[in-house]
Amino acid sequence: MNPRTGLQRAGSVEPHAVRLASALGLALAVAQAVTLVSGPTAGLLAQSLALGAFLGLSVIQGPGPQQRLTLTLAILPLVSVLTLAVPAAIVPPVFWYLEIGLATFEAIVLVMRRLDLTFRDVGVQRAPISEVLSVGAVGAFLAVPAYVIAGPINLGQSGGLVGFAMASAIVIVFVGILEELLFRGIIQSVGTQLMSRGGVVLSVAATAVMYSASLNLRYVLFTTLVAAFFGIVARRSGSIAAPIAGHAALVWVQLVLLPILLS
């Protein structure tokens, strides 16, 4: 066990954590189902209830592995609340990513501080440059089927070089980098320390639940497979540098480059 963070050695499995992860995952799935079936108003209520329940449960649990897992997964309903609360109809999507991304990053940092985790603890460290470049190339290639499945997405940014640079920076930082920090970083790291290889399963399941909001089954399946690939890469290397490169390349080509080239 890590004396500073209290995390167990990777490879051991905490049975209580497995049961807790299943229960929390079911709660997240139910909240997401309410959102998809009943609309944003009911969804906002359901996600808020899930967030409140997770935070309340973490207080009851006290310091320990169960609290770490609960607090980490509490970020997911928070993201959903932010997504539903931001007026997407009047805010261009490019700024929508920015607003939600900034709030999500702050939540990640607060949870990491509460759990006494450093960025290195969640995989923010160097990886072999060959691995980073190869996974980045795979991500750029996967952007093509992602674009075909999801279709063109208008980010609503201004035209010209300034608009292109702004959209590129926001998408790379607040989609590619931030999502890997959340899913393959803090969620998979905490899950791996508590459930060994179950950490990859946890990060993949979290990705699938969040992307189910797209209401595109093919896209959810696609993102789930991509998440599994990134999760395996992160587990083998101990770093999220390569998954960040792959995810950033994927979303930049999919959301910024291809819409311009194919318009």
Quote the CA–CA distance of 54 and 162 in Å, as a whole number: 41
Tokens of 116: 């006494």
> CA-CA distances (angstroms) from residue 7 to 4, 187, 190, 201, 212?
8, 13, 8, 18, 31
139 close to 245: Cβ distance less than 8 angstroms:
yes
Q: In a 10 Å sphere around its CB, with 0-12 CB exposed, 13-18 middle and 19+ buried, how is residue 249 labelled? A: buried
What confidence score (pLDDT) does residue 8 get? 44
Least confidently predicted of 86-90, 100-104, 251-255? 86-90
The residue among 100, 238, 210, 214 whose CA lies nearest residue 227 is 210
Q: Is residue 106 part of a domain?
A: yes
What confidence score (pLDDT) does residue 139 get? 97
> CA-CA distances (angstroms) from residue 125 to 3, 59, 172, 180?
21, 31, 18, 13
In this model, does residue 136 exceed pLDDT 80?
yes
Average pLDDT over residues 98-111: 93
Quote the CA–CA distance of 241 and 181 in Å, as a whole number: 10
What confidence score (pLDDT) does residue 87 get? 65
pLDDT digit string (tens) for 158-187?
Answer: 678 888 999 999 999 999 999 999 999 999
Q: Is residue 221 part of a domain?
A: yes
Q: Is residue 71 part of a domain?
A: yes
In this model, does residue 50 exceed pLDDT 90?
yes
241 close to 132: Cβ distance less than 8 angstroms:
yes
Q: Is residue 8 part of a domain?
A: no
Mean pLDDT of all residues belonging to the chain: 89
What confidence score (pLDDT) does residue 12 get? 59
What confidence score (pLDDT) does residue 89 get? 59
What confidence score (pLDDT) does residue 14 get? 66
Tokens of 255: 């959301």
Q: Is residue 4 part of a domain?
A: no
Average pLDDT over residues 232-239: 95
Q: Is residue 75 part of a domain?
A: yes
In this model, does residue 61 exceed pLDDT 90?
no
Q: Is residue 70 part of a domain?
A: yes
What confidence score (pLDDT) does residue 13 get? 67
Q: Is residue 5 part of a domain?
A: no
What confidence score (pLDDT) does residue 102 get? 94
Q: What share of the chain is helix, strand, coil (3-state, %, to 5)?
A: 80, 0, 20
By residue range, what is the domain housing residue 76? 15-261
Q: How confident is the model at residue 27 (pLDDT cuts 50, 70, 90)?
A: very high
230 close to 246: Cβ distance less than 8 angstroms:
yes
In this model, does residue 2 exceed pLDDT 60?
no
Tally the domains of the chain.
1
